Amino acid sequence: MEYTNLYKFREVNIKSLTALSSKTLWFANVDTLNDPFEFKYRIENAFTELTDNQTIEMIKPLLTKFDIQRFPNSKVAEKYLRKLKALKGKNFVNSMNEDVIIPNIHSQIKNGREKFGVLSLSSDTYNLVEPFEFMKSNVTNLHLWSLYSNGMRGFCLHFENEKLKESFNKKGIVIGGPIEYKLYPPSIKPDLKSSNEDFNIKIHLDSITDTLFSKHTTFEKEHEYRLIRSEQGLINYDPDCLKTVYIGDKMPIEQQDLIKLIINKKYPNTKICTVFCEENEYSVGIKHT
């Protein structure tokens, strides 16, 4: 499914006005996002299909690689692992997974995610066919106006998805997609490669990106759509990417005038509309300006 329209709900502050005036959007570090359960994942046991002897053969090169003083060769490493196997018994395989594999994967993922920049937007609940229909769009999402636009005192930026991605791609590759809302975090299955000389634990890039596009079902009303790139910070976009700015009618008049001034000066093809809470209804109305 393609997502034609993307939205960014903003409060009015120095950061949001500066970004609007400079035609930039912020790609954040994952650790700074507001969901405390962000980037959760589960690690599958890498040794479930291996016997104890196969696990020993797999682990031996790792010991000689990282602790050559204790394990100068594979024979010494094997002797140690067989003693450990006798001590752990049935828990030997699980112990190797917890002591060897999991810490390595945590380290790889931590190093990988620190390189990503994440831009969180919102999309329509389905692929909205042109012409654009306001009442069917996510601009009418009460939850987003309340939570991210200071109770209709902020504004919403309406971008054209393909134009926005094309603009960002001029400055580096951007991947995008909707958040998949789940009851449980995605699973990561490590790819183990072992030989007499070496041992490697690899995880595919898709496994890392899966964690970036997954959230708990608590947040599904947000219909989040993310753009991800290998850089963080403010990234410029072409002004034609911005189709419409929706201003909440509870915003002070002087702030409304400031936003209109920025749009009229910096975004010649962008429309400006005012949105408001319908009287006696749980819905959002629109005024064209």
pLDDT digits (tens, 9 = 90+) for 181-201: 999 998 887 776 655 555 566
Pairing of strands 214-216, 180-182: parallel
Nearest to 1 by CA among 137, 154, 124, 130: 124
| Tens-digit pLDDT profile for residues 12-69 | 999 999 999 999 999 998 888 878 888 888 887 766 667 778 778 777 777 777 677 8
Contact between 217 and 35 under an 8 Å Cβ cutoff? The reply is no
**Residue 10: pLDDT band by 50, 70, 90 thresholds?**
very high
Yes or no: say if 30 and 38 are a contact pair by the CB < 8 Å rule. yes
d(CA 229, CA 174): 5
Q: Where are the domains of the chain?
A: 5-29+116-173+230-288, 44-113
